[in-house]
Amino acid sequence: MSRIAVPDPAAIAALRQRHPEVFRRSWRGRVVTLALLAALVGFAAFAMVRLEFSATRILAGLGRLGEFAILMLPPDSGDRAGAFLLALGETLAIAFLGTLAAALMAFPVAFLAARNVVPNPFVHFTVRRGLDVIRSVDVLIWALIWINVVGLGPFAGALAIACADFGALGKLFSEAMETVDRKAGEGVSASGGTVLHRIRFGVVPAVLPVLGSQVLYFFESNTRSATIIGIVGAGGVGQYLTELIRVLELQQVSFLILLILVTVTAIDLVSSRLRRALIGGQAR
């Protein structure tokens, strides 16, 4: 039977002497780590005081949440399953139209924001900052603005999603275009193609699958945001959700939430399939 040789203390001491830097405790690193942690926790404590956290309120609230959880079971449609499904369809339509419109608007603008397509730094800097401004406004705020223009309803929701995603997709599209292989474009230019030819045959075929997969991904996340857009009155299932929570019809709330979860999961599955097909098609 073989035994593992345990090094004797003398050998360990010799090792320590030979490699002092491995065994030396780095006090500086520890102090920095501790200070960072203390700062994080200290700031959190300050935030809790400032935002009026109170243990009694949390405990009382948790008790009430427990009651809610019991009241939510079993999920029950309350004979309104048809209306809920219709609202869910509206939600999906909002997400689909919004994403598509955003993609169609972002596609041409992204060329202007891509450094390798428009070499003028002034143009792409301006376009980028513009996209940043649009992106930093939340979709609910866009919804409020559009409600003032086209009135309450799902149309305002679709426009809000289109606007909010226009900024985000424009940024992602231009980044995808910047990472494209230059060789194809150079080949087109060398054989006498104009700038438009270069874009059409050197850039677009390479980025199209990537853009498609990004659009699908946004569609997924937009089905989530389209469920809440009804909170401000812009159509979809959110309107029901707000109302039902306000009047504490908790069984219907849980039914609706389950419905949303199922729909979102289904959309996720379909679109991740499609995405894989798109990206796989490019690799082959």
Question: Is residue 264 within the footprint of another protein (CB under 8 A)?
Answer: yes
**Residue owning tokens 């010799």:** 14
What angle do helix axes 250-283 and 238-246 make, rounded to 10 degrees? 150
Looking at residues 63 to 92 of the shown chain, list those that interact with another protein (rule: CB under 8 A).
64-65, 68, 89-90, 92
Question: Is residue 257 within the footprint of another protein (CB under 8 A)?
Answer: yes
Question: Is residue 144 within the footprint of another protein (CB under 8 A)?
Answer: yes
Looking at residues 14 to 33 of the shown chain, list those that interact with another protein (rule: CB under 8 A).
none
Q: Which stretch binds another protein (CB under 8 A): 22-30, 59-67, 175-183, 191-199?
A: 59-67
Run of H or E residues at 267: helix 250-283
Q: How far, in Å, CA of 271 to CA of 264, rounded?
A: 10
Single out the residue of 35, 150, 270, 279 in contact with another protein (rule: CB under 8 A).
Answer: 150
SS (H, E, C) 87-109: HHHHHHHHHHHHHHHHHHHHHHH
- Whether residue 165 contacts residue 99, with contact meaning beta carbons closer than 8 Å, is answered with yes
Question: Is residue 96 within the footprint of another protein (CB under 8 A)?
Answer: yes
Single out the residue of 213, 222, 225, 252 in contact with another protein (rule: CB under 8 A).
Answer: 225
Q: Which stretch binds another protein (CB under 8 A): 73-81, 175-183, 190-198, 219-227?
A: 219-227
Cβ proximity to another protein: between 87 and 110 the closer is: 87
DSSP string, 158-211: HHHHHHHHHHHHHHHHHHHHHTS-HHHHHHHHHTT--HHHIIIIIIHHHHHHHH
Identity of the residue numbered 61: G
Question: Is residue 186 within the footprint of another protein (CB under 8 A)?
Answer: no
What is the nearest approach in angstroms of another protein to the Cβ of residue 169? 16
Phi-psi region of 236 (alpha: psi -120 to 50; beta: other; left: phi over 0): left
Comparing CA positions, the residue from 241, 247, 250, 244 lying closest to residue 67 is: 250
Q: Which stretch binds another protein (CB under 8 A): 56-64, 115-123, 191-199, 201-209?
A: 56-64
Q: Which stretch binds another protein (CB under 8 A): 16-24, 106-114, 172-180, 231-239?
A: 231-239
What is the nearest approach in angstroms of another protein to the Cβ of residue 202? 19
Size of the site for another protein (CB under 8 A): 62
Q: Determine the distance from the C-alpha atom of residue 24 to the mean position of all C-alpha atoms in its chain, rounded to a whole number.
A: 44
Question: Is residue 195 within the footprint of another protein (CB under 8 A)?
Answer: no
- Side-chain half-sphere of 185: how many Cα atoms within 13 Å? 18
Q: How far, in Å, CA of 153 to CA of 238, rounded?
A: 11
What is the nearest approach in angstroms of another protein to the Cβ of residue 79? 22
Residues that bind another protein (CB under 8 A): 40, 43-44, 47-48, 50-54, 57-58, 60-62, 64-65, 68, 89-90, 92-94, 96-97, 100, 132-133, 136-138, 140-141, 144-146, 148-151, 153-155, 157-158, 224-225, 227-228, 231-232, 235, 241-242, 245, 248, 253, 257, 260-261, 264-265
